[in-house]
């Protein structure tokens, strides 16, 4: 164990420079995030991930945000275990009808001010599952969405760009 630990001290960091915040995400947020909320939160957001029926592809890439290359916590973004501790809900999937109530309850359990980020093609409009008897189709049909991050699944870099845009917007003092 000592060797592995020492090596990680002596070798350079794997963590990569931050990507620029996504421009289109900034534009989407500009109209949605209110200024009072911005002043209260500063540069720190707690994120609760909610899988609303995804294929689990998006979860794999959201997980990757915590690895040494992306190291999401350096930006003040961290994943929390309960919606009651969260500022942001990161929602994936075409919102299956079997998950709709759980998503609503999770949203209601999250204290305001709060933001919802819909992740992946399914979360935008149901994607390839649109039209199924078992899917609502699109997160915004169940809870209000502040930001969409597209992709199937979006890469960790895409996710980071979107979340950085959210962070930048929230922390800009009004």
Partner 1 sequence: MGILDSIPHVTAEMPHRPWPRAVVTEAGWQAAIERLVEGGLTLLGFWGEPTAVHMAMLDGVSAEIAVVTYECGAGTFPSVASRHPPALRLERTIHDLFGLVPAVADDLRPWLDHYAWGKPYPLSGRNASRDVRPYQFLPAEGEALHQVAVGPVHAGIIEPGHFRFTANGEHVVRLEQWLGYTHKGIESLMQGASLEAAAKLANRTSGDSAVAYAFAFACAVESALQIEVPRQATLLRALMAELERLANHLGDIGAICNDASFALMHAQTGILRERCLRAANVAFGHRLMMDVIVPGGVTRGIAPDGVSALRALLAELRKVFPRLIELYDNTASLQDRTVTTGIVKAEYARQFGAGGYVGRASGRDFDARRAIAYAPYDSLSFEVPVLQAGDVNARVWIRIREVEQSVELIEQILHQLGPGGLETALPPRIGRGACEGMALTETFRGDVLVWLRLDGELRVERCHLRDASWFQWPLLETAIEGNIIADFPLCNKSFNCSYSGADL
Query: Of 106, 110, 140, 142, which lies in the binding site for partner 1, with binding defined by CB under 8 A?
Result: 106
Identify which range of 19-27, 32-40, 97-105, 164-172 contacts partner 1 by CB under 8 A. 97-105
Residue 22 C-beta: closest distance to partner 1, Å: 18
94 binds partner 1 (CB under 8 A): yes
Residue 174 C-beta: closest distance to partner 1, Å: 32
Nearest to 151 by CA among 128, 121, 117: 121
139 binds partner 1 (CB under 8 A): no
Identify which range of 26-34, 59-67, 138-146, 160-168 contacts partner 1 by CB under 8 A. 59-67
φ, ψ dihedrals at 34, nearest 5°: -90, 160
H-assigned helices in 11-53: 23-30, 35-41
Nearer to partner 1, 55 or 166 (CB): 55
3-state secondary structure of 101: helix
60 binds partner 1 (CB under 8 A): yes
Query: Of 46, 99, 119, 139, which lies in the binding site for partner 1, with binding defined by CB under 8 A?
Result: 99
Nearer to partner 1, 21 or 83 (CB): 83
Q: Are 51 and 92 in contact (CB under 8 A)?
A: yes
162 binds partner 1 (CB under 8 A): no
Report the alpha-carbon distance of residue 67 to residue 4 in Å, rounded. 16
Query: Of 139, 153, 163, 166, which lies in the binding site for partner 1, with binding defined by CB under 8 A?
Result: 153
Task: State both tokens at 114.
Answer: 């709060």
Q: Are 22 and 162 in contact (CB under 8 A)?
A: yes
Quote the radius of gyration of the chain (alpha carbons, Å). 17
Q: Element (H or E) spanning 91, and its range?
A: strand 88-92
Identify which range of 24-32, 50-58, 138-146, 159-167 contacts partner 1 by CB under 8 A. 50-58
């Amino acid at each position: 164990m000592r060797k592995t630990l020492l090596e990680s001290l002596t070798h350079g960091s794997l963590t990569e420079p931050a990507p620029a915040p996504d421009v289109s995400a900034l534009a989407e947020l500009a109209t949605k995030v209110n200024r009072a909320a911005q002043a209260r939160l500063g540069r720190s957001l707690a994120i609760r991930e909610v899988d609303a029926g995804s294929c689990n592809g998006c979860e794999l890439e959201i997980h990757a945000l915590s690895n040494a290359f992306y190291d999401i916590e350096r930006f003040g973004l961290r994943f929390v275990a309960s919606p009651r501790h969260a500022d942001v809900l990161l929602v994936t999937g075409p919102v299956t009808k079997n998950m709709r109530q759980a998503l609503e309850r999770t949203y209601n359990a999250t204290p305001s001010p709060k933001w919802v980020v819909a992740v992946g093609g399914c979360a935008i409009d149901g994607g390839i599952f649109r039209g199924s008897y078992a899917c609502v189709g699109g997160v915004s049909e169940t809870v209000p969405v502040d930001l969409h991050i597209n992709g199937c699944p979006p890469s960790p870099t895409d996710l980071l760009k979107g979340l950085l845009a959210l962070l930048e917007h929230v922390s800009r003092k009004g």
